[in-house]
Structure 1
Amino acid sequence: MVDFAIGPTQSLSGITEQIPPSQDEKLRAAADALEASFLSEMLKSAGLGASRDAMGGGIGEDQFGSFLREEQARQMVEAGGIGLAESLFEAMKGRINE
């Protein structure tokens, strides 16, 4: 399970504690993860990370190609993505506020 804590904050006693994420932050993280997953599948369908016929990386390339696609998809989402995360966020937020 992924912990979506924002980051440390300093308390009066000097002990570092985590600020719990708000509901919107949790929804945004879930929407971003869904968009990244979708983009990763699209990159896979486009052939990104597939081994080449000649001078390829062999079995290692096949095994680690998914990591490349997933990281590139996450970077695409961080750069603004395709707008899917925003639509998902608004839809999930609307369902919770009903």
Structure 2
Amino acid sequence: MADLALTQQTDMALMAAQANRSMALGKNVTAEEARAKAQEFESVFLSQMMAPMFAELGNDPMFGGGEGEKMFRSMMMDEYGKIISRSGGIGVADAVMKTILDLQQVDGAKTPTNAQEAKL
């Protein structure tokens, strides 16, 4: 069951990375859009980093346990990641946002403008 949760979280991280890349290379994005995608990436990253902390955590035999608790624990990690990212994070979102905007700027510099195309 832990393997399934890890696979799902890995898939989410890959999707977030692909979305960030396609956003940065596909079209011009605003700073707000870049910030939102960067925070999404940071939340997935944080949930991945917290998963091992809770992997070996025991269950309360009186009120907890079972396969359901294991499944919902991965969802709880996702929510913890979102909350931490929204409340300032650990700096990953800032670096990702800067990279998105830098890639956009580099891509824009390589693309000729309409005025340059008219001269050709």
Deviation at residue 36 of structure 1 after TM alignment? 0.4
Secondary structure in 2 aligned to 1:97? helix
1:33 equivalent to 2:35? Answer no
CA RMSD of aligned residues (A): 1.8
Structure with the bigger RCO (C-alpha within 8 Å, sep 6+) is 2
Return 5+ residue gaps in structure 2 as ranges: 1-28, 107-120
**Equivalenced residues, count:** 76
Residue 91 (structure 2) pairs with residue 76 (structure 1):
no
Considering fraction of residues, name the structure with more strand: 1
Determine the structure 2 residue equivalent to 1:58.
66
4+ residue segments displaced more than 2 Å: none
Q: Which amino acid aligns with 1:27?
A: A
Alignment TM-score, normalising by the size of structure 1: 0.69
Larger CA Rg, structure 1 vs 2: 2
Give the TM-score normalised by the residue count of structure 2.
0.57
Greater fraction helix: 2
Displacement of 1:54 in angstroms is 5.3
